[in-house]
Amino acid sequence: MKVSEETLLESGFSHTDLQKIKSNVENFGGTLDDVIQDLEKRFNVAKWITIVAFVTLIFTSLLSTKNNTLSLAFSLMVGLPFIWYLTPAKLAFKAWRYKHHASRIKGDR
C-alpha cells in the first residue's frame, strides 16, 4: 500500500506530525510508508509491554507481599512513561490507527 501525505492528513495526522515524519525521512532516508510501518510496530511493542507489565502487577499484587507489589508499581510508574516517550506515542498511535483503517478499506475492496 502506498502512503501519501493526503491520506495521512485525512486519517488524522496534523501538518506538524507530517513535518516530523518528513524530517525523519530526510535525515535517515526511507519512505513515508517505511516510517509509518516502523511507527506502527513501535506502538504494538509498547502496547504489549504495557499489557504484560500490568498483568504482572496484578499477579504480583495477588500472589506476593505488599512490599514487592509497591516496588513493582513504582518501577512501572517510572519505566512505562519512559518507554512511551521513546516510542513517540502520539505519532505511533496515529500510524497504528492509519494502518488498521487502511487495511480494512483494502480488505473491503
Does some domain include residue 22?
no
Place of cell 510508508: 33
Does some domain include residue 70?
yes
In the predicted structure, residue 27 carries a pLDDT above the cut 50 = yes
pTM of this structure: 0.83
Domain count, the chain: 1
Closest-CA residue to 98 (of 47, 29, 40):
40
Q: Which domain holds residue 58?
A: 43-109
Residue 94 binned pLDDT confidence (cut-offs 50, 70, 90): very high
pLDDT digits (tens, 9 = 90+) for 7-25: 899 888 999 999 999 999 9
Q: What is the mean pLDDT of residues 99-109?
A: 64
DSSP string, 42-108: HHHHHHHHHHHHHHHHHHHHHHS-HHHHHHHHHHHHHHHHHHHHHTTHHHHHHHHHHHHHHHHHHHH
Does some domain include residue 19?
no
Does some domain include residue 25?
no
Residue 37 binned pLDDT confidence (cut-offs 50, 70, 90): very high
pLDDT digits (tens, 9 = 90+) for 47-87: 999 999 999 999 999 999 999 999 999 999 999 999 999 98
Q: Which three cell numbers stand for residue 105?
A: 478499506
Does some domain include residue 84?
yes
C-alpha–C-alpha distance, residues 73 and 92, integer Å: 25
Contacts 24+ apart (CB under 8 A), 72-81: 79/53, 80/49, 80/50, 80/53
Does some domain include residue 81?
yes
